Amino acid sequence: MRRLVVPALAAIAVVLGLAVPASATPQPPEPLEYVALGDSYSAASGVLPLDPTASPLCLRSTRNYPHVLAARLGARLTDVTCGAAETTHFRTAQYPGVAPQLDALDAGTDLVTMTIGGNDSSVFIGAILACGVAGTASLGLGSPCADQYGSSFTDTVEGTTYPALVQALRDVRAAAPHARVVIVGYPWILPAAGGCFPLMPVARGDVPYLRNLQATLNGAIERAARRTGATYVDMSRVSEGRDACRPIGVRWVEPVLVGTNPVIVHPNALGEQAIAEQVARALPGR
């Protein structure tokens, strides 16, 4: 009832020529102060057009999920996402002229989003490259990557990436104590089995191997979020069937060969829109 009474009284006062107290005049809500952190999956590296406010080295797109989400929320966006970022780049400069990402946060920040962790120790991106080389050499046969590297990649995720994620999220919380902190998992790059050699030059037997590595990384991100009170956005279920082996218009991640993005094995604009949708759904009242 109060919402109806105050505007009605203000309207009557205007008609009678009376002064309207500032407190009685409805004020539009302040937009959310939204800061986007993270790596190339947050920056949408490879999706054009590039953000003219960013360092060219970051390959940040104006169509990345932070921009899509900010438009949907009517938020005031500060976007410091940068391709190839690691958790260490929250605290240290990534490139000359590219400040530590945590510098964008303060006590007035309302919302923080990020996708991060895949570049740490080169474990995730490095594994995809290593398995691509091995798969090409074997002409897509066998499981040369799993045979060569075994559990080394997943061991690194559990032993190195996970604690780094926990520390990064704690640092974000310290820099933005009043913000809702959201960390997003990585959408599926490969199907559960089979693959699509040579579009994704991963040997058939290594496709489940890389899927397991990605599941391990996403699991580490989810546990780090839970441990630090952040919100985890799981992309696994919604991105099933949207991997890089699917056709244009279906896939959310571009393949190595015959893709539409100059930056391979990264989300396309459709994938960035999907991530924005999932983040929006995870926010209260949205």
**Catalytic amino acids?**
40, 266
Task: Give the residue from 113, 28, 95, 54 showing the smallest Cα distance to 283.
Answer: 113
CA-CA distances (angstroms) from residue 162 to 53, 68, 154, 193, 227?
Answer: 32, 28, 11, 26, 11
Grouping H, G, I as helix, E, B as strand and the rest as coil, residue 146 is helix
d(CA 33, CA 179): 9
Runs of H (alpha helix) within the chain: 2-15, 40-43, 65-73, 123-137, 144-149, 152-156, 162-175, 207-228, 236-239, 269-282
Task: Give the residue from 172, 189, 275, 185 showing the smallest Cα distance to 221.
Answer: 185
Backbone angles phi, psi at 35, to 5 degrees: -120, 125
Q: Provide the b/e sequence for 42-72 (b: ≥16 CB within 10 Å).
A: bbbbbbeebbeebeeebbbbbbbbbbbbbee
17 by Cβ neighbours in 10 Å (0-12 / 13-18 / 19+) ranks as exposed
> How far is residue 213 CA from its own chain's centroid?
18
d(CA 20, CA 17): 9
Grouping H, G, I as helix, E, B as strand and the rest as coil, residue 45 is coil
- Residues paired with 113 in a beta bridge: 36, 182
Task: Give the residue from 111, 93, 112 showing the smallest Cα distance to 55.
Answer: 93
Residue tagged 């003219």 (tokens):
52
